Amino acid sequence: MIGLSAYRRTNVSTGSAPQIMVALFQAALANMRASTAAFERGELKAGSVLAGKAAAIVLGLHGTLKDEVAPDLCARLKELYTFVAWRLGVAGCKFSAQHVREAERVFVPIASAFEKAVRVSSGTASPPDQG
């Protein structure tokens, strides 16, 4: 695990801004999924901590939004990020896998769309047909 942790730190410190953002989306989702699993196993403290980590990442993503670039999109994302962070906070307080699942259900399409946009813009995936 120590080697993997060092690899991730190096990868994040040397990655492009979009790659770092993708890593943050993936980390938030991984923490949400681990939180759900912990709550379901009855590991309430661990589930709460993991939900808190996911919420912190989501709030960090919220802070990266630039209204001057895309005001309408940013307004929508702010609402979604706020909802996701709020549900994760409730999950941590109520030890609720259901609240984490609700947050994840809203967050997954955002993360997937961002990852796809990065792949398309970097040339590692083809854009959708213009047909």
The pLDDT tens digits for 45-59 are: 999 999 999 999 999
Range from 14-23, 37-46, 99-108 carrying the lowest mean pLDDT: 14-23
pLDDT (tens digit, 9 = 90+) per residue, 69-81? Answer: 999 999 999 999 9
**46-to-27, 31, 32, 52, 109 alpha-carbon distances in Å:** 16, 10, 11, 10, 26
- What pLDDT is recorded for position 16? 87
Q: What is the mean pLDDT of residues 7-13?
A: 49
At residue 111, what are phi and psi to the nearest 5 degrees? Answer: -60, -45
Task: Take residue 103 and report the two structure tokens written for it.
Answer: 């947050």
pLDDT of amino acid 122: 81
Higher pLDDT, 129 or 30: 30
Domains in the chain, please, with CATH? 15-120 (1.20.120.340)
